[in-house]
Amino acid sequence: MRLSRKNTLFFSGLAGLVILALLLIGLYAFRHGYVTAAQSQAEMAAEIVRIHLTEAMLHGAIDKRGRFLERLQAVKGLETVRIARGPELIAQYGPGQEGSQPLDVVERQVIDSGRPYFGLVEGTDDNLFRATIPYKAGKDASSDCLTCHKVKNGSVLGAISLSLSVTEQRRETAWTIGSIVLVISFFALAAALLSQRTALSLIATAEQVHEAVDKATRGNYGGRIDIQRNDELGEITAGVNRLLAHLSKGLGAISDKVARLIRYDLPPSDNLLDTTATMVDCLEEVSLFKQAIEEDETTEEIYHRLSRVLHEEFLIDHFSIYEVDPGKNHMAPAIIDGIPGSACRWCDPEILQRADACRAKRTGHPVDSGQMTDICTSFAACGELPGCRHVCIPIIQSGAVGGVVQLVTDQAQASLLYKMQPFIQVYLRESAPVLESKRLMASLRASTLTDPMTGLHNRRFLQEYSDTLTSYTHRRQSQFAVLMADLDYFKQVNDTYGHEAGDAVLKQLAKILKESVRSSDLVIRYGGEEFLLILRDTAREAADATAEKIRVAVENQKIQIAGTVINKTISIGVAIYPEDSGTFWQVVKYADVALYKAKEAGRNQILHFQPEMWEGQGAY
């Protein structure tokens, strides 16, 4: 039941109870009023009769009392007056005048008890009142009943009975009490109406406050309360309105700033609080995410962390993260459906060799198949996700596309994906500079570990990689071969044709070396025209065969230099780890010693390290 209805019922009931109580009190006062008035009148008349009788006795005129009683009955409202003698008086003077009536029950009771009787006469419609008052013998300053009557002081000599009409008293009492009841009822109703009016304004304000607070708990601070009174209630109402307006303005400003910060197109919403809280939660999670990836060592770790966010936070099972190599216009899949290094699945493999075939990479803008079907021709079929939707979001690094994140969902989750895109893009924007920084650091580090002219690893790389290589070999209980190679008479090339010709020869040699070994093997420019090769999981015979292959390839290579053709030969020293030594750098030294011996023996040949070659060389 609404409070306004409760209030109406309460004040109506209260007014009714007040009027009912007044009526009950009025009825009681009505009866009590006219009875009391009649009793007072009867007592006064009885006293007059007593005084007259006493005086008549003193003056010897008691026999004339009849005429007095007749005159007394002429008094308005006095119907009858009767004097009854008591037993003691009858015993002394007889029953009284002729025609005296015997005592009735009431008179006998009053004479016996000495107590007066007052009451309405039954059968008279409450219009006749009877009073029977005892006449007691006594002695005072004006008279002494004991002089004439031989009775004790206080004895009941008789009783005076009167009957009075109370019609007039009833009418006057009824009018008086009725007027009082009407006046009080009027004021009670007026007070109830005034109180209800006051309460209704309070209730109306309370209901509006309830509605405004209910909206506020649901994030809508646009509710306002009507000011109904210019008193404290009005001041409270105005204060609540100011509070709601302040909250709405402040929260709206915060929401807009957060939305701009995350570049989120804030949708219309009645729950501004929840929307803002969601965006702030996203910012907090993104902040923790960025802190984590900044402390990661490699881009692979960042891609893995981003993959977990897509899968665990946004519940996306099918996605691809591609890394772009802008120098070669290539793309490489970093993670496909949460699996690092997987093959391209959702796109045409052509994008791996020609990155511009990817629309998101080429344009630098998000690509959404939900907005236009078949928007990207490089997207492959949906496969087990019929009617799928794909969104490709470029990762912008220094104004260029450094990567692409592709999200694939079924039709049922398409709308959810649309709502999550702005938040996913926040993660990608925060990831972009960190990824770029890690890639630049990796590139810088690679440049310090790479020979800029030949593109081969340098000696510093070998120093950092040596422990990893030996640990790998021990785990596999394997071995590897170290080949130290040096061009024969290379100084003559520089002296005869110049350093540019010498650089061309070294580049050609680097090419021959890379083409002569496996992709798992290492080719290192050790210094000048000296090259070191590490053949993993390779024994003596296989190492000698590879070395011979290189020697023959170099010998048969014709190099065009400054309008002429030259050819060079190469000498190679071979040592095996851990067969020749259990120390990596000792094996390198042994290979270098074998190379030196090959040059002493006439060059253009291969020599495997033998212990006797070390005699006289000293420990490394």
Q: How far is CA 38 from the centre of its chain?
A: 80
Least confident of 112-121, 262-271, 511-520: 262-271
| Number of domains, the chain | 3
- Is pLDDT of 619 > 80? no
Same domain, 478 and 608: yes
Instruction: Examine residue 352 and state whether it is found in any structural domain, yes or no.
Output: yes
Instruction: Examine residue 277 and state whether it is found in any structural domain, yes or no.
Output: no
Encode pLDDT of 341-383 as tens digits: 888 888 999 999 999 999 999 999 999 988 888 888 898 877 7
The answer to whether 136 and 46 are in contact (CB under 8 A) is no
Which residue, of 406, 439, 472, is where some domain finishes? 439
* pLDDT band with cut points at 50, 70 and 90 for residue 76: confident
The phi, psi pair for 465, rounded to 5°, reads -90, -15
Instruction: Examine residue 284 and state whether it is found in any structural domain, yes or no.
Output: no
Tell me the CA distances in angstroms from 440 to 17, 400, 436, one per residue in order.
91, 14, 6
Average per-residue pLDDT for the chain: 82
Which residue, of 404, 439, 474, is where some domain finishes? 439
> If you average pLDDT over residues 129-157, what whole number do you get?
74
Residue 558's CATH number: 3.30.70.270
Same domain, 520 and 566: yes
Instruction: Examine residue 453 and state whether it is found in any structural domain, yes or no.
Output: no
pLDDT for position 366: 92
Which residue, of 148, 171, 194, is where some domain finishes? 171
What's the domain range around 419? 296-439
Instruction: Examine residue 266 and state whether it is found in any structural domain, yes or no.
Output: no
Least confident of 181-185, 322-326, 343-347, 613-617: 613-617
Same domain, 336 and 423: yes
Tell me the CA distances in angstroms from 461 to 120, 464, 466, 536, one per residue in order.
134, 5, 8, 16
**Distant-in-sequence, close-in-space partners of 462: CB < 8 Å, separation ≥ 6:** 522, 524, 526, 532
- Is pLDDT of 2 > 80? no
**Most confident stretch, 170-174, 415-419, 588-592:** 588-592
Least confident of 66-70, 443-447, 523-527: 66-70
Same domain, 19 and 167: yes
Q: What angle do CA 617, 618, 620 make, to 5 degrees?
A: 105
Same domain, 591 and 477: yes
Q: How many helices (H) and strands (E) does the chain have?
A: 17, 17
Least confident of 50-59, 233-242, 340-349: 50-59
Same domain, 385 and 499: no
Instruction: Examine residue 1 and state whether it is found in any structural domain, yes or no.
Output: no
Residue 361's CATH number: 3.30.450.40
The answer to whether 158 and 102 are in contact (CB under 8 A) is no
CA dihedral 54, 56, 62, 67 (to 10 degrees): -110
Same domain, 166 and 25: yes
Instruction: Examine residue 371 and state whether it is found in any structural domain, yes or no.
Output: yes
Residue 167's CATH number: 3.30.450.20
Same domain, 33 and 148: yes
Same domain, 434 and 568: no
Same domain, 83 and 32: yes
Same domain, 495 and 585: yes
Same domain, 479 and 413: no
The answer to whether 467 and 455 are in contact (CB under 8 A) is no
- What's the rounded Cα separation, in Å, for the pair 334 and 330? 13
Instruction: Examine residue 310 and state whether it is found in any structural domain, yes or no.
Output: yes
